[in-house]
Each structure stands twice: as C-alpha cells, then as structure tokens.
Amino acid sequence: MRNDETIRYGFPHISNFCYKPKNAQPVRLSYQKPFFLTEKYTECPVFQQEKIKRLPQDIRGKNIFRKSLLQENKERINTARKKYINANKKVVIARKKRWYMLNKDKAMENKRRRRAKKLGVNENYSSNDRRITMNEFNHHCFNCNNKKELCVDHHRPLNDGNPLTLSNAVVLCKSCNSSKSTKSPEIFYGAKVAKKLDDKLICIAESYKEKGDSNVRRKS
C-alpha cells in the first residue's frame, strides 16, 4: 500500500507488489493509480480484509518475475518437490491416476512427445489430430479390422526419425501394434498394402488445412 516501505515505486509499475496476501502478488497497473498508491488505499477491498490468500482476478497483475524466480530456485524447488513426493507417495499416485483417467488423450500426447524428444525428433501431434486419424480409419485397426484396444501408431518408425503427423499416423489394435513394433510398413504389411496406405495418408493430410483448421471434417 501507499505507506508500505516494501513498495518499490511511488508510481504505477510492474514491480509494485501487494503484500496483503500470504504470498506477495503484483498489482494490475490500472488499479495502482486510483487505490494502490493514493490516500484511498484504505478503501481497497483487499486492504479491508483480514486474511486473503490471493488477489482477485481484476486486481492481480502478471508476475513477469515468476519464471526467473523459478529458475533461480530450481534446485531448492526440486528438492522440496521430491521430499513431498517421498512423504506422500500414496496421495501422489492416487492424484496421478485420477488425472490420467480424466485426461487420457492429453496423457498419451505427453507420452508421445517425451518419447520423440528422447530420440531428437520434433513431434507436434495433438489430441485433435488423433481424433482426425481415428475418424479417417473409422475406428478400426487398419491391419486386422479389429475395433477393440485401438491406438495410433507411427506408419513409418519413429526410430528412423519419422515424427507422428497426419501423414504418418495409422490406427492399429494393441496386438498388431506390438507385432509391427519398429518394422517398416513394407516388411509388416507388404509392399502393395504399404503403398496403398501411403496414398491414403497423403490424401488425409492434404484434405485438411493447417493446424488451426484441422478440426474440420474432410469433405468426401
């Protein structure tokens, strides 16, 4: 507030924080001038509250220092996180399972990206792309026409540097996906079927616009 010695500047500035909440938070510039830095600070609804966890959305500013603070305290934060996980393993596991059940598509997307990153491949295949691929293959395994335990696999192996894209994504059941593993399409399907699938995937990719419009259904 105006008479708070911890206030850095006497005029609206991104470095001015409110220390009323438990953790100091930045104040929106448009709010600083009428209340924060004037004699009217006592009329501020935040000031009038005895306890407050965080500033209201219409008052809270953007904390541009958060990233640098996290970077500076990375080791301490990681140590504290590991300590919490070790002391609350059951709670953490239950929380992860609950999140996975509610966000399966997102979890699979994150898993694919981590795997691609380890191999040095830049992959940006979204959950929306996955829905497109599943729809284009009519929710059937391309190899055996099964409808159960389906997954989206790389048409041409990730190990060979091929990222998962609309032009390189095929729907397979769990059994066929395990059998295919890192085999090339020509070895797994045969040259004729592999060529047919190549043409189908090129057609799918070309039938959709850029990512922003990829949720538009392909016209037949």
Q: Give the Cα separation of 142 and 125 in Å (integer).
A: 19
Model confidence at 175, in pLDDT bands (50, 70, 90)?
very high
When the pLDDT of each residue in the chain is averaged and rounded to a whole number, the result is 80
| Residue 53, pLDDT score | 72
As beta bridge partners, residue 150 has 173
β-strand pairing of 17-18 with 25-26? antiparallel
Angle at which helices 89-102 and 74-87 cross, to 10° = 100
218 DSSP 8-state letter: P
| Residue 220, pLDDT score | 38
Q: What percent of the chain has pLDDT over 90?
A: 29
3-class secondary-structure state, position 122: coil
Torsion-angle region of residue 139: left (phi > 0), alpha (psi -120 to 50) or beta?
A: left
- Kindly calculate the radius of gyration of the chain based on its CA atoms and give it in whole angstroms: 26
| Residue 36, pLDDT score | 60
| Residue 176, pLDDT score | 94
82: tokens are 């590991």
Q: Is the pLDDT of residue 188 over 90?
A: yes
Q: What is the pLDDT of residues 8-24, one digit of tens each?
A: 445 666 667 777 776 77
Q: What is the pLDDT of residues 99-132, one digit of tens each?
A: 888 888 788 888 888 888 888 888 888 888 889 9
Q: What is the pTM of this model?
A: 0.55
